[in-house]
A and B are shown apart, each in its own frame.
Chain A
């Protein structure tokens, strides 16, 4: 194995923890123990490695070490045409794939100065809010699993299966659906989608009621989460934290309200805001957000406008297939788009949206060719992870696990 002289054990031993050295307390019985959590660990949400310095059971310092799912997605995206980047970029934050796709597609549409038809915008909103609910359900199930309440896992995944059925109906895939395209959506929703969605909307609020009934006043949940690991709003903002974590601390910052995009201004919904920013508030904010997302979906479905679901600009979007038989221009456009892809005028753009974990921004730089010159996702989990250390300072290990759960890190987005 050591043909190159590289011995991973040696390398690991060489990483010094000198910066972690802290003053020992006066009581000589209390030593600082540095413990390694992960990267394979049942409680971490993905392959997150933590170096935790403990004094007894109290966490004195925490260093996250990431990079164990680094996939080089941003580099791969530079190699593919703009259309083909969409499935690659979707796989970053693997629970919020519609949001990844929308951030990228929105950035490219901004560069192209392209107008998206209203039906496509509403369909995008419907799918994004369904994805938000799905992401929060997975988060709730796995977080309660971390706390020890396994029943929530079954309930949440039961709901998630219904949402997956809806995604499968509209795009054919359960996850990573490639449904959002530059200029609109891939296809119109099929017959039966609206009815199935209405059934889901009818059922979901009472399911959220059930979750609240199980969790809200549950003595164990309250004791484990109330007043545990709070962090003040200005410290959070210094660390760049956005999303439900910031809202739980009392800052009503939600890009859907503050800087509306994709016709979110047409919908009437509330933004749940917490009180003191402890774990309990973080839990409640996300559960309440699920209910608000259902309200948005209902309004979007009721007001779904008729019309095209894809832009008419043939330089960017594929022409419908029946035109290929009759129009020479359509054939040429189709050929150019499929082989080379569309060209985007040079420029740089940063397109931020509100994903289930916070502000997801996509930076795209184009140099005039048919492949992007740089695609970067400002992933919310990557920035939120920096808040873990300050949050669990002087808390117990069990609280650290609960805080990590409430932080909702998705390692695919962190490592990209």
Chain B
């Protein structure tokens, strides 16, 4: 079998966006364009932002955040048992600094939606999510909270319908190792990415809660 290596210009083009090496490549190209005066407008601003904001301080903050996450105790159904398993000794989540499960959402920054969200529970979950302080992340654990899961019926709501979710972990229930993989993926996102609130990450238009007031009609955000 012959291995064909792409050389020349084609070989230097980024092929996998999101890859660390590729991001570096993109930044190098932009820096080259900046110096030659080819970048302007929004691209220029973005490049400046990126090259300034991913400073050592930001990296340090991201590292600190990612290594000391406080998950909220939010066990809904069967996935909660596997979530308890990651706290247990075999798949030990304390190795990564996550063992302090906080009962109060005000003190937590990670919501692991473990289990099926029924329509009666959805407003409660939303309220708890709203009570959490920025920056906050959510993991939809299991098939039921990510999509409808095994039960595609009148009583279940997929979590994406009412709250933004950063990582979806498939499985029914996902093995503790699978949940760990999801958590570590999220941790990688937090540690490496610049800090954006979930609204900016999701361009979450219309997820603010609007209370109707008397007077001229204000635009209601899409539900």
Contacts and interface: CB of A to CB of B under 8 A. Distances in A.
Direct contact of A and B (CB under 8 A): yes
B140 to A, nearest CB: 16
B210 A68 contact: no
B89 A8 contact: no
B147 interface: no
B151 A88 contact: yes
Nearest to A175: B173
Nearest to B84: A157
Interface in A1-35: 1-3, 8
A69 B121 contact: yes
Contacts of B173: 174-176
Interface string B106-135: 000000000110101101100010000000
Contacts, number: 111
Contacts of A142: 84
B115 A161 contact: no
Interface bracket on A:
35 or more
B156 interface: yes
A75 B124 contact: no
A415 B81 contact: no
Nearest to A41: B103
B90 interface: yes
Interface residues of B, number: 42
Contacts of A56: none
Contacts of A42: 73, 103
A154 to B, nearest CB: 6
Contact of A161 (B88, B118, B120, B150): B88
Contacts of B121: 39, 47, 68-69
B74 interface: yes
A95 B124 CA distance: 24
A319 interface: no
Contacts of A252: none
Contacts of B124: 39-40, 47, 68
Given A70-B118, A157-B90, 15 more contacts: A1-B210, A40-B128, A46-B75, A47-B121, A71-B153, A72-B154, A76-B150, A91-B150, A95-B81, A157-B87, A158-B88, A161-B88, A161-B90, A174-B173, A412-B77
29 contacts: A1-B220, A39-B121, A39-B124, A40-B105, A41-B103, A42-B73, A42-B103, A46-B80, A68-B118, A68-B120, A69-B118, A71-B118, A71-B153, A71-B156, A72-B151, A72-B156, A91-B150, A153-B88, A157-B85, A157-B87, A161-B85, A164-B85, A174-B82, A174-B173, A174-B175, A175-B78, A175-B173, A176-B173, A411-B77
Cβ-closest 10 pairs across A and B: A157-B88, A94-B78, A72-B155, A42-B103, A68-B121, A72-B153, A161-B90, A8-B123, A70-B118, A67-B120
